[in-house]
Amino acid sequence: MIDFYGHRKVYFTISLSIIVVSLLISIIFGVKMDIQFKGGSIITYSYEGNLDMEKFEDKLQEVSGAEFSIQESTDVASGMKSFVASSVDSVGLDSDQQFEILNKLKAAFPENNIATAGSNSVNPIIGKEFFIKSMVAVAFASLLMIIYIGFRFKKIGGWSAGVMAVIALFHDVFVVYATFVFFRIPLNDNFIAVILTILGFSINDTIVIYDRIRENKKLFGTKMPLPELVNKSINQSLSRSIVTSACTILAMSVVVAVALYNNVTSIMSFALPMIIGMISGVYSTICIAGPLWVMWLQREKKPKKA
């Protein structure tokens, strides 16, 4: 049987190191924000014939003087092929600038009949509001989890179990954040989607372990010390947690492979952080939540000094 509680200091050190490194990378290299959070322009260019996406991207950045990310798109109904170009800029491109860029693209690719199929500007103020609301949604979801665990596991000190579970979840949030920062993936709506998905998976695994702790406490009562009880419960749930997460990770790995092969960055920016977040979720559920909860309960039981 693995002594998870006995090795808690090692696990806590690893987690703290990940958090510190992610913060240092953020300070040194900065955090890339996507158009949803920072604002900018989204321009759709239709074209005919064959046009290499990388050549188009290079030329677009050359004639505009701005950094663009490009996604290829094909309308199923009409068969129209297009490139969706996104530029992150708090100011954005006005109509005159867009018209000038279009003329230069037409001159560079005269055989492809390039035209502007659509153009949108994202206000940075709206982007900031969206980011704040997303963080509020994460905080609200965490509060609901504490309340749910608090009521469901009252017999084993539910409120403390809920708080420790959410602390472990914030560890997963930092790992997902570190993934975006380390791989230089711009923070966008995929960041929020990954966080909320990981919270759901991770809290489900944690609840399974808490349920096992409750059942073992009924079975052994006070005969078994709390650290041993938690270790036993985690070991009993270990294979279930690993196998369940491994199935999801395997599926997401296929998605990553397909996204890499087809150069679909929008899917890649979701699937890769999702895989790392799933691994973190298993780790925090097994190595962080339970030992933290035991430490909290033992701290409460210690006699206060006069």
pLDDT of residue 281 exceeding 50: yes
Task: Give residue 90's pLDDT.
Answer: 60
- pLDDT of the residue at 302: 61
Give 305's pLDDT tier (boundaries 50, 70, 90).
Answer: low
Tell me, what's the pLDDT at 91? 60
User: Span 238-262, mean pLDDT?
Assistant: 89
Instruction: Please name the residue that has the structure tokens 């704040």.
Output: 132
Question: Is 32 a residue whose pLDDT tops 90?
Answer: no
Mean pLDDT for the stretch of residues 165-175: 87
HEC assignment per residue over 272-291:
HHHHHHHHHHHHHHHHHHHH
Q: How far is CA 104 from CA 50, 100, 109, in A?
A: 18, 6, 9
List domains and CATH numbers for the chain: 8-34+126-301 (1.20.1640.10), 40-122 (3.30.70.260)
Judged on CB neighbours under 10 Å (0-12, 13-18, 19+), 58 is middle
Number of residues that make up the chain: 306
Query: Which H or E run includes 116?
Result: strand 115-122
For the ranges 62-71, 86-95, 248-257, the lowest mean pLDDT is seen at 86-95
**pLDDT of 306:** 45
Q: What pLDDT shows up at residue 254?
A: 93
Binning pLDDT at 50, 70 and 90, where does residue 92 land? low
User: In this structure, how many other beta carbons lie within 10 angstroms of the beta carbon of residue 20?
Assistant: 11
Average pLDDT in the chain: 85
Q: Say yes or no to pLDDT of 35 above 60.
A: yes
pLDDT tens-digit readout, 134-154: 888 888 888 988 898 888 888
**253 pLDDT more than 70:** yes
CB 171 within 8 A of CB 179: no
Query: For 19-46, what is the mean pLDDT?
Result: 84
Distances in Å between the Cα of 75 and the Cα atoms of 23, 83, 86, 190, 222 are: 42, 11, 18, 23, 66
Higher pLDDT, 302 or 157: 157
- How many angstroms separate the CA atoms of 299 and 297, rounded? 5
Pairing of strands 115-122, 40-47: antiparallel
Please report which confidence band the pLDDT of residue 276 belongs to, taking 50, 70 and 90 as the band edges.
very high
DSSP 228: H
Model confidence, pTM: 0.80
pLDDT (average), residues 160-165: 86
Read off the pLDDT of residues 46-87 as tens digits, 9 standing for 90 and up.
998 888 888 998 998 888 888 888 888 877 777 788 888 888
Per the structure block, which two tokens stand in for 84? Answer: 């969706």
Confidence of residue 164 (pLDDT cuts 50, 70, 90): confident
Q: What is the mean pLDDT of residues 207-212?
A: 88
**Cα 285 to Cα 166: distance, rounded to the nearest angstrom:** 10
Q: Say how far apart CA 193 and CA 138 lie, in whole Å.
A: 10
The predicted structure's pLDDT at residue 109? 92
- With pLDDT > 90 as the criterion, what percentage of the chain qualifies? 13
Q: Please, what's the b/e burial string for 64-76 (b: 16 or more CB within 10 A of its CB; e: otherwise)?
A: bebebbbeeeeee
Structure confidence by residue, pLDDT tens digits, 211-230: 898 898 888 877 888 889 99
Instruction: Look at residue 41 and give its three-state secondary structure.
Output: strand
